[in-house]
Amino acid sequence: MKIIYIYIAKKFIPPFLFAFGVFCLIVFLGDVFENLQNLSNGTATFHSVLKYALFRLPYWSSLLIPLACMLASVFTITELVSSGEWTAAVAGGYRPLQLFMPVLVCVFIISALSFLNQEYFNPWLEQKSEEVYKIKIQGYTDYKAEVQKNVTLKLPGNAMLFAAEVESKAGLMRNVTMDVYDKTWAIEKQFVADKMQYDGGKWYFVNGLERDFENDINLTEEHFDKALAAFSVPPKQIIVGDVSETSISIKDLLRKIKFLRKSGLADYKERTYLHNKLAMPLSTLLMCMLVMPFAVVTRKRNKAVSIIFALALAFAYWTVSSLAVTAGENGMLNPVAASWGIAAVCAVIVFIQYRLMKI
């Protein structure tokens, strides 16, 4: 059994590497050509464009690996069938599922490595690619990756905080307004400050105005150099900026979801991202399980038929998945259903398919 695992794995790896390499080359060249137009702005250089495209490859890899696995799975099984090795193995007592297992083990290992890449490497590389794009290509001299812009927070005690910029690592907010409301949500007090500084476990308004209201009318206004803010959340827990799914790890997603819930803000998008990340390895396995029996059915027909089927299935999966994830991000569909729904449908189809084909 160990020998057949190694033998089939050796047949799987070359087509996977070829398909993955071709896809990576296509998206790399696409990013390069797309940004060549920026060479005329006086800031971008060909080196910076290449650097940006290289930093973007890990992002694309997480999207391309499932497709490369599907094509490699189809190609491997088709090769076994067309060479007569499949027939010989089945005649020797092997069940089809036993011959599928080496391929599925390869897919599982590759999916696991892709998952680790998303968690530990891709967020950092996404940040670096954004820095290169903003600073080296577009020429923004004041760009800071860690700065979150136009942040709105709902605070305990009927209060709202607005900040033009939040720099969590520095414990700093700029151009801050904090409105305090009564039980009927009529404004009672307002703080307007140049910045808020985190110091000694507390937030302080710096250089601002304190305004008191009655019946929504401004009655008094007093200037202060420094004032204690009724807000105690540590800077590292403030994660509210709009980020892409591939640029944030599960650990940071959980922190962000916790903070958003505590602040009374919607977390549909973040929960959809979380479940989509967790569902992707299983979805990749199920899609490969779905296409491999088709490769057996085609027998000695043209391999292009199986490959076209795999591409069509991948496109259908991507289309439905994208629609579901978009619905989940906007609160139109439960995040769990948006991310795991298509995996559940694939699992049912695979179960019925394998039962009918007696695999």
Give residue 350's identity as a one-letter amino acid code.
V
Strands of the chain (E only): list them.
Answer: 147-155, 159-167, 172-181, 187-199, 202-214, 217-228
Residue 146 is predicted with a pLDDT of 72
Distance of CA 149 to the CA centre of its chain: 20
Residue 110 is predicted with a pLDDT of 94
The mean pLDDT value of the chain amounts to 84
Residue 193 is predicted with a pLDDT of 92
Confidence check: pLDDT of 301 > 60: no
Residue 37 is predicted with a pLDDT of 82
Residue 175 is predicted with a pLDDT of 92
Cα-Cα end-to-end distance for the chain? 18
Confidence check: pLDDT of 254 > 90: no
Which is more confident, 193 or 131? 193
Alpha-carbon distance of 344 to 359, in angstroms, equals 20
> How many C-beta neighbours within 10 Å does residue 280 have?
22
Which pLDDT band holds residue 262 (cuts at 50, 70, 90)? confident
Q: Where are the domains of the chain?
A: 2-139+268-356, 147-238
Structure-block tokens of residue 267: 């977390």
The sheet carrying 217-228 orders its strands as 147-155, 159-167, 172-181, 187-199, 202-214, 217-228
| Under 8 Å between Cβ of 130 and 145 | yes
Mean pLDDT is highest, among 41-50, 109-118, 232-241, for 109-118
What does residue 150 show for φ and ψ, rounded to 5 degrees? 50, 65
Confidence check: pLDDT of 25 > 90: yes
Which is more confident, 7 or 139? 7
Global pTM? Answer: 0.76
Residue 310 is predicted with a pLDDT of 77
227-243 pLDDT tens trace: 888 877 777 777 666 66
> How many C-beta neighbours within 10 Å does residue 259 have?
19
Q: How many CA atoms lie within 13 A of 56 on its CB side?
A: 21
Residue 26 is predicted with a pLDDT of 93
Which is more confident, 85 or 18? 18
Q: Which of 60-64, 72-76, 167-171 has the weakest average pLDDT?
A: 167-171
Which pLDDT band holds residue 206 (cuts at 50, 70, 90)? very high
